Amino acid sequence: MPYNKKSFSKASIIVVLIGDSGVGKTSLMNQFFNRKFTEQYKATIGSDFLSKEILVDDYVVTIQVWDTAGQERFQSLGVAFYRGADCCVLCFDVNDSKSFESLDNWRDEFLIQAAPQDPENFPFVVIGNKIDVEESKRMVSQKRAMAWCQSKGGIPFFETSAKEATKVEEAFQAIAKIAVEQEKEYELYK
C-alpha cells in the first residue's frame, strides 16, 4: 500500500551483516531487497550493499545493508564498513555449529573495529539461517541460540530461510525498528 512520505518522519540507518562464509548473508540480503534466491554460491569479495525505503512505525526509513565477506582473507576489508553502522546482524547457519560458535569472535571483532560510543548498548540482532534444511541435519537448536542471545544481554534472535523467504522480511523490519529506536535514544541524549 502506498504511503504519503510527507506525513512521516525520516530516518536513515546502516546495517552490517557479518558471519562465517556460506551462512547465507548475501542470500538474506537478496531475499529482503529483491525477493530473489539463487542456488548458486558466489563468495562475497570485500563487501556489497543495497538500500531501500521501508516504513517503520511513523518513520520512512532508508535502510542500507552492507554484506561483508565471511572469508578470513577478506575480513580486513569489511572492517572499514563497520564504523558508522547503526545495527550489526550476526548471521550463522543452523546446520553448521562452527558458524554458531564463531558468533562471539564476530561480535567482539565488530565492537573493536566499529568502536561504538556505547558498546554495552550497541544494537545487535542474531539470525540463524537455513531452517529449510531437513531437521535431522540441524546442528544448532533454537534453544541453544536463544540462550546465547540471552547471555549477551537479550539480543533479538530470528530463525530464517533465505531460500523460502521464511521470516526474512520480519527480521529486517525488526532490525530497522531496533536501529531507529537506538537513533531516537541517541538524539535525546545528544
pLDDT mean over 143-149: 98
pLDDT at residue number 40: 61
Residue 74 has pLDDT above 50, yes or no: no
Distance between CA atoms of 141 and 157, rounded to whole angstroms? 12
Q: What is the CATH number of the domain that holds 158?
A: 3.40.50.300
Alpha-carbon dihedral 12, 26, 79, 72, rounded to 10 degrees? 170
User: How many folded domains does the chain comprise?
Assistant: 1
Q: The C-alpha cell of 88 is what?
A: 550489526
pLDDT at 186: 62
Say whether 158 sits in a helix, a strand or coil.
Answer: strand
Full domain range(s) for residue 52: 6-189
159 within domain boundaries: yes
- Classify residue 67: in a domain, yes or no: yes
Model's pTM, two decimal places?
0.86
Residue 127 · residue 31 · CB < 8 Å: no
Cell triple for 187: 538524539
pLDDT-derived band at 178, boundaries 50, 70, 90: very high
84 versus 155: which is more confidently predicted? 155
In a domain, 1, yes or no: no
For residues 82 and 66, what is the distance between their CA atoms, to the nearest angstrom?
9
